[in-house]
Amino acid sequence: MAINSADREKIAAAFNKAMPAVAQMLHTYVTEAGAPERFYLGVYDASDAGANWAAGGDPVAREIAAHEIRVAEWINDHKEIARKKVRAALRTQMNTGDHARAGGTFTEDEVPYPGGCIAEAGGAQIVVSTSGLKGTEDEFFSLAIKIGRAHV
């Protein structure tokens, strides 16, 4: 993994600074939509993504920062679902929603859901991955963080 510890700290700090606004946006969304307010959002190192990423491909080791909302109320393991989206995004070097809509294949340790998005933060490749809502709704929140990451 090529993102050094100083850059990881900068990315994590920017992510943590953005989380109150994202949490408020999520709260407003789920209140209006009548959806449960349970959610996972993580940022992962994607600096060596691609076909050979498996050599260092464990999403747990790649996690830079994460935010969990109402874990005790989770019916599914949203962290693990998000990590499966990370695996797919790393392997394909595509947002998982784009890959699924293009009819791409997913391995058994991946999920075919939108919400894993490739991004760049301060010149470093990252994956922003979410889980907790429907896939296309997860994707919206990943893309919102992705847009915010462009200037880390």
pLDDT in tens, 139-148: 888 887 765 5
- Looking at the predicted structure, is the pLDDT value of residue 128 above 70? yes
Q: What is the pLDDT of residue 151?
A: 44
Q: Which residues contact 148 (CB under 8 A, 6 or more apart)?
A: 14, 18
pLDDT tens, residue by residue, 67-96? 988 877 788 899 999 999 999 999 888 999
Q: Which residues, in sequence order, are bridge partners of residue 43?
A: 65, 128
Give per-residue pLDDT as tens, 21-71. 888 988 898 899 888 888 899 999 988 776 656 545 688 888 999 998 887
Structural element, H or E, at residue 78:
helix 78-92
Mean pLDDT value across residues 12-20: 89
Radius of gyration, alpha carbons of the chain: 14
Closest to 43 (Cα-Cα) out of 89, 94, 101, 104: 89
Longest dimension (CA), the chain: 43
Q: Is the pLDDT of residue 149 over 70?
A: no
Distance CA 29, CA 32 (A): 5
Residue type at 72 in one-letter notation? A
Pairwise CA distance, residues 150 & 59, whole Å: 21
What pLDDT was estimated at residue 57? 64
d(CA 145, CA 152): 11
Q: What is the pTM of this model?
A: 0.88
